[in-house]
Amino acid sequence: MLEIENLSVAYGGLTAVSDVSVTVGKGEFVAIVGPNGAGKTTLFKAISGVVPPRQGRILFEGKDLLAVPAFQRAHMGIAHVPEGRQVFPNMSVADNLSMGAYTEEGQRRHAEILDMILSLFPILAERGKQLAGTLSGGEQQMLAIGRGLASAPRLLMLDEPSMGLAPAVADIIFERIIDIRVKAGLSILLVEQRVAEALESCDRGYVLETGKVVLQGPHQTLLEDKRIRQAYLGM
Amino acid sequence: MFGRYSFLRETLPIIGFAAAYLLFSYWFDSSYYKLILTLVPIWATMGLAWNLLSGYSGLVSFGHASFFGLGAYTTTLLLVKFGLTPWIGIPVSMVVGGLSGALIGWPTFRLRGHYFALAMLAYPLALLYVFEWLGYQEVAIPYKRENGLAYMQFADQFGYVVTATLMMVAAMMLSRWIELSRFGLALLAIKQNEAAADAVGIDILRAKLKAIILSGAVAGAIGGLYAIVLLVVTPPSVFGMLTSAQALIVTLFGGVGTFWGPVIGSVILIPLSEVLHAELGHMLPGIQGVVFGFAIIGVIIAAPEGLFWGIRDRFMPVYSGRGREAGSSKVLEEASLHRTKPTADAPVILRVSNVSKNYGGLKAVQNVNFDVPKGAIFGIIGPNGAGKTTLFNLLNGFTPLSTGQILLDGQDITGLRPNEVCRLGVGRTFQIVRPFMRMSVLDNVIVGAISANENDDMARQQAMEAIEIVGLADSADRLANSLTNKELRLMELARALAGKPKLMLLDETLAGLGSGEVEDLLHVIRFIAARGVTIVIIEHTMQAMVRLADTFLVLDHGAVIGLGEPADVTKDPKVIEAYLGKKWANRA
Amino acid sequence: MGELAIITENILQALAAGLLIGCIYGLMCAGLGVIFGVMRVINFAQGDFMMLGMYSAYYLATSLGLLAVLGPFFGPVAAAIITGPILFIIGIFVHRYLVTRVTGVQVAGLEGEGHFAQLILTLGVALVISNGALIFFGSEPLSIRTPLSRTAWEVGPLFGDAVSIFINKARFVGAAVSVLVAFGLYVFVTKFRFGKALRAAADNPQSATYVGVDVDHAHRIAFGLGVAITGIAGGLVASYYPFQPYVGIEFVIVMYAGVVLGGMGSIIGAFWGGLIIGLVQQMSTLILPTQLQNTAIFIVFLLVIFLKPQGLFGRNAERT
């Protein structure tokens, strides 16, 4: 479904991503892990079209993404849940979700998808009229994920959903992501710093370090690989 | 740009230009042309006044008409009501302009960005209404038949041309002198990055006030002359939008931030507009406004900093000096290996006690305690969002603490402003490096030395030393826009080092560099530490940090979860959990 | 009439005038609020676009005969409303060919991230428009004269026989239409998909892109819309206030005062801000001489900037 081939991205004068190749198959859950500064967020930005790559290709369902302007990608079926939540702070929770449904597919199936979102994150129903900027970190993350789902995507990209959240809250978020995987049947591409959770839930994983893929494989293999610890802690 | 103001090199061209201008003007007999020739230096001076504040420091003012108008009315009313000659009246206007600059600047500098521009816009318009209400709709200068010269009334119009040109020369010299001085460098630093300027010891508010006072003084003085030349003052003619706009336009068109800019702009645009007005004015009233408007639109799209820079950038070489990239010298490498780690009884240079920062309900930093021994390389690590940069901002003075205390060498620095903290011996680098592109490495680094040194030569020397320490000595004369990423990082280090700090806070100096470049920077950092500077460094790249730091502090969610030597800390289950997750920690 | 009656009458009259004028100012400010809220651009030329709106309404009403066809009530109103689309197109044009040159990705490297360039560009546009109008239309003051501009309804006598308030008919119609148009704008940005997209683009442009909003396009529409709305307000003002090509500058401070008071970034806040400014301006004549009524606005403006920069309904004072 998603094929990234030999991608190199420079960001702010630095080579953030170097010759990276990643694939996500239909219905697959793929995790990309790696320490800070490894280039994970830059990779996502390149897929979303916010940062142009220097080299390489990105194909989504066979189409060349690089020829498509950034805002069109949502309409093609890619949902990006950004790092740091990035909700619309001065719009209500309900409006945030309806903005998520900006795509045609999202509009068509809005009622049905809204049901699913609210069953996953009931707190959003309670807070419907509240301004999104006043929600707690965890609630905002739920809203951001809900907003992503609302566009009825075929690929859901999640950028560090646990960042800045207390461990207990992050646990809940992870559980929900697994629920989504089960309920919505879409492909998921997850970028995370918290390796264990990410690798446990995914089908396949890639380990990124200073912009390069240093390890990849099915999740079980990766979980047992000592080199992950080396990548994170340097010894 | 930082340098000595030498009479020959600096003043002679200005005087030469003025002499040529006067010679040229002398040929014209008609009083109409003489008026235009008077207006050119007047508006050039007004532009120079605007440039002093907005061009050099980046604080865009749409309200310079305030100073101009107050100056115009001061001179006029002193003459009309008290019979005071403009020879004295204009200097008084200068003082009035300077004072009003201070009065307006003091509250308004608290405002940021858009708000500052809008407030500045409001002042002259408010003054306009006030003066109309006061009954000064039209004040005319009385004609002094005898003794005209004593009242600045010249028989020959050429006298006005000379007076205006002399004032322009004075303003040009003042501008040039500022450009070369440390004050000008401070303004430039503020324009580039106010936070970095603060961290390097520059007193921001004082610098801005000084700029607006000088700016107001020049505008006030030239406003006084304007009134005398035109012989009548009305509120719209001196407080109106067009006055502020014209100062801005001639400068913007000719070149912002350089003393030639307003002169070039004025020489081109003023005669153009006057001629247009004369020739086409009855058929197309307002044609000069249209032309000014198009000139401004054209300039801002094609050469946003004005003709002067547009042309100079095109013809000037990209860099001067040798083009060899700074390498890592063997000497550095060996010297860095000779560093000895501080012993257990080394004195504590930085003591952080119980420091917290809360943003409403969010605890960004919680009860952080640690001591940094003198001469140590102390690393602060932690996952994204752990509060590392917030902690640095607390140490530096950018963010006020919620609780706790910070002692530097025994002295309490809690609550001090960044420039005060800097002057006590703390240097800091920033993640986003914004150098002065058109200036050399040396000039960039000197900014770091000026607040520590009264003497300009000493500052230059200290800057050179810092540049040598980081290994950029061969590149000292190269322009900053030709540097590689690694060299920019080294320059940033040199700038912080130039103030001869006791303690340096390095914010992600290694981020995004290739492994070879990281090695070079590690050598430099160790070398700096070997010379007695204590280093506290935030980094993400663990591999480098474990080899660099003596001690680690691990932060997660703003709290300390580990403190000790790298080998111990990286085996600590709490740390592993923070980075890799709970389940991994169990596995370890 | 007793002293008290006179004072009461003056106060109520000023209040009434303030409310009427305030509604029209409110619409004017709402237009600027759209532009500033969505694009964070200080548009110096907003007053001059409004001036174009005044001339457009004038010529629609007189030369194109709307006044003759639709009569004194609906003529000026129709002229003002039709001015909307005309100015919308002008705004789109200006944005497409000029404003985009100084906004967007390519200006990130410029000093101050291009804000300075935007200010200067709109200043240039303001000069061109106001002086161009002088050439094109001449300097003679105009206004849409109808019997309505000269007559008023009498409210009262109130309080027995003592107090009467006079409500100028043209102003009343102008105020009513302003409220309607402002309400229409409110409905658009809260209930309609594209209106919400504009708010999203204002709130978080990157996230808006992620959910599929074309932010550049949104900016263009916002600019056109903002200019159109202020143009309509101008058309309404034209029915009772004589205007000439330089009238724009008189209203620039009113508009910015209103937007800042309401809170930069809040479109509806801008309307309320404008309303309050209108009230301040009219009520200030009770204690200040007429010439200084605009000074009262400046004082309020400066007070807001210094004491409560986020305004009444606004968010963080300065979004970077």
Q: Any idea how long chain C is?
A: 320
Whole-number pLDDT of residue C234: 93
Confidence of residue C187 (pLDDT cuts 50, 70, 90): very high
Residue C195 pLDDT class (50, 70, 90 cuts)? very high
- Identify the pLDDT of residue B325: 46
* Residue C312, domain member (yes or no): no
Q: Of A130, A153, A176, which residue constitutes the final position of a domain? A: A153
Nearest by CB to A90, from C209, C212, C315: name it: C315
C200 in contact with chain A, both atoms CB, cutoff 8 A: yes
Pick from A135, A153, A171: which residue ends a domain? A153
Helices B113-133 and B86-108: crossing angle, nearest 10°? Answer: 140
Range of the domain at C235: 3-307
| 3-state class (DSSP) for residue B17 | helix
Closest Cα in chain C to A132? C203
Residue type, position B318, single letter: V
What is the structure's pLDDT at C108? Answer: 41
Give pLDDT tens digits for B394-439: 998 888 999 999 999 989 999 899 989 998 999 998 877 777 777 8
- Is there a single domain that holds both residue A72 and residue A122? no
Q: Does A160 touch chain B (CB under 8 A)?
A: yes
pLDDT above 70 covers a percentage of chain B that reads 93
B126–C298 C-beta distance less than 8 A: yes
Average pLDDT over residues B542-566: 86
pLDDT of residue B581: 63
Phi first, then psi, for residue B98 (nearest 5°) are -65, -45
Is the pLDDT score of B373 beyond 50? yes
What distances in angstroms separate CA A87 from CA A143, B532, C210, one per listed residue? 7, 47, 11
- Which pLDDT score is estimated for B105? 93
Same domain, yes or no: A38 and A63: yes
Residues of A in contact with B511 (CB under 8 A): 14, 37
pLDDT at B457: 84
| Residue C111 forms part of a structural domain | yes
Q: Which two tokens mark B187? A: 């303004």
- Both tokens of B239, joined, read 């407080």
Distances (CA, A) of B205 to B26, B72, C112, C255: 45, 28, 19, 30
Choosing from A96, A131, A153, the residue where a domain stops is: A153
Query: Could you tell me if A69 and A101 lie in one domain?
Result: no
For residue A66, what pLDDT is reported?
87
CB within 8 Å: A88 and C212: no
- Chain C residue numbers with beta carbons less than 8 Å from the beta carbon of B295 are 124
Alpha-carbon gap: C144 to the closest alpha carbon of chain A (Å): 41
Q: Which two tokens stand for residue B301?
A: 């799209």
Chain B contacts of C129, Cβ < 8 Å?
293
- Is residue A89 situated within a structural domain? yes
Shortest CA distance from C94: residue in chain B: B297
Q: Which domains does chain B have, with CATH numbers?
A: 7-240 (no CATH), 330-587 (3.40.50.300)
Q: Is residue C152 situated within a structural domain?
A: yes
List all residues 6 or more positions away from B312 whose beta carbon is below 8 Å from its beta carbon: none
Structural domain includes residue C215: yes
Q: Which chains touch C (3 or more CB pairs under 8 A)?
A: A, B
Mutant choice from A45, A47, A71, A158 vs C, greatest count of C C-beta within 10 A: A71
The CATH number linked to C198 is 1.10.3470
Query: Is B121 within 8 Å of C253 when comparing Cβ atoms?
Result: yes
Q: Count of domains in chain A?
A: 2
Q: Average pLDDT of chain B?
A: 85
- Helices and strands counted in chain A (H then E): 11, 10
Considering the domain boundaries, does residue C94 fall inside one? Answer: yes
- Higher pLDDT pick, B364 / B45: B45
Residue C110: the pLDDT is 45
What is the mean pLDDT of each successive set of 10 residues along chain A, which is 235 residues long? 88 76 91 80 86 90 89 91 89 92 89 90 89 88 93 92 80 88 87 80 87 86 77 63
Helix spans in chain C (H): 3-39, 46-61, 66-97, 115-137, 147-150, 169-191, 193-203, 205-210, 215-237, 248-262, 267-284, 293-307
Do residues A128 and A193 both lie within one domain?
A: no
- Is residue C240 situated within a structural domain? yes
Handedness of CA B124, B126, B132, B136 (dihedral sign): negative
Whether residue C319 is predicted with pLDDT greater than 50 in this model: the reply is: no
Distance CA B430, CA B192 (A): 13
| Mean pLDDT, residues B28-40 taken together | 87
- What does the pLDDT look like over C258-283, one tens digit per residue? 988 888 777 888 999 999 999 999 99
Q: Which residues of B412-438 are buried (b: 16+ CB within 10 A; e: fewer)?
A: ebbebebbebbbebbbbbbeebebbee
Instruction: State yes or no: cis peptide before B285, omega within 30 of 0.
Output: no
Of the candidate ranges B5-9, C26-30, C41-45, C293-297, the one whose mean pLDDT is the lowest? B5-9
**Separation between Cα atoms, residue A143 and residue A133, nearest integer Å:** 11
Three-state secondary-structure class, residue A8: strand
Cβ atoms of A38 and A198 within 8 Å: the answer is: no
Alpha carbon dihedral B43, B49, B51, B54, in 10-degree steps, equals -120
User: Exposed/middle/buried for B554, CB within 10 Å: 0-12, 13-18, 19+?
Assistant: buried
- Grade residue C42 by pLDDT with cuts at 50, 70 and 90: confident
- pLDDT number for residue B112: 76
Query: Among residues of chain C, what percentage have pLDDT more than 70?
Result: 92
Q: Does residue C317 surpass a pLDDT of 50?
A: no
Residue A122 Cα to chain centre, angstroms: 21
ipTM at complex level: 0.90
Angstrom distance (rounded) from CA A190 to CA A209:
16
Contact B515 A210 (CB under 8 A): yes
Q: Is residue A170 part of a domain?
A: no
Q: Looking at the complex, does the CB of residue A71 fall below 8 Å from at least one CB of chain C?
A: yes
Q: Is the pLDDT of residue B318 over 60?
A: no
Q: What is the DSSP secondary structure assignment for residue A127, as one 8-state letter?
A: T
The 10s digit of each residue's pLDDT in B114-172 is 788 888 888 998 898 889 888 888 888 887 777 777 788 887 888 899 999 999 999 99
Residue A206 lies in a domain: yes
Give the H or E element holding residue B463: helix B456-469
Q: What pLDDT score does C159 carry?
A: 67
Domain contains A171: no
Instruction: Please answer whether residues C34 and C84 qualify as being in contact, where contact means their C-beta atoms are separated by less than 8 angstroms.
Output: no
Q: Using CA atoms, how far apart are residues B543 and A233, in angstroms rounded to an integer? A: 7
- Name the region of B404 (left: φ>0; alpha: ψ -120 to 50; beta: rest): left
Q: How far apart are alpha carbons B326 and B428 in whole angstroms?
A: 22
Looking at residue B171, its pLDDT comes to 95
- Whether the per-residue pLDDT at B321 is higher than 50: the answer is no
Whether residue A181 is contained in a domain is answered as no
Flag the least confident range among A70-79, B409-418, B473-482, C9-18: B473-482
The phi, psi pair for C43, rounded to 5°, reads -100, 100
Average pLDDT, chain C: 84
How large is the average pLDDT for residues B222-229?
A: 94
CATH number at residue A194: 3.40.50.300
Looking at residue B2, its pLDDT comes to: 67
Report the length, in residues, of chain B: 588
Residue A126 domain flag: yes
Domain that residue A110 falls in? 84-153
- Give yes or no for B294 touching C (CB within 8 A): yes
pLDDT at residue C102 tops 80: no
Structure-block tokens of residue A211: 């912009």
Q: Nearest by CB to C213, which of A98, A102, A133? A: A102
Is residue C258 one of the residues assigned to a domain? yes
- C110 vs C117: CA distance, rounded Å: 8
Of B239, B280, B545, the closest CA to residue C249 belongs to B239
Q: Establish if C317 belongs to a structural domain.
A: no
CA proximity to C312, closest of C277, C263, C247: C263
Q: Is B437 on the interface with A (CB under 8 A)?
A: no
B315: left (phi over 0), alpha (psi -120 to 50) or beta: alpha
Both tokens of B292, joined, read 């000014």
Number of domains in chain C: 1
Bridging pattern class, strands A187-192 and A155-159 = parallel
How do residues A101-134 score in pLDDT, each as one tens digit? 999 888 888 999 999 899 889 989 988 888 898 8
CA dihedral for B467, B470, B476, B479, sign (positive or negative): negative
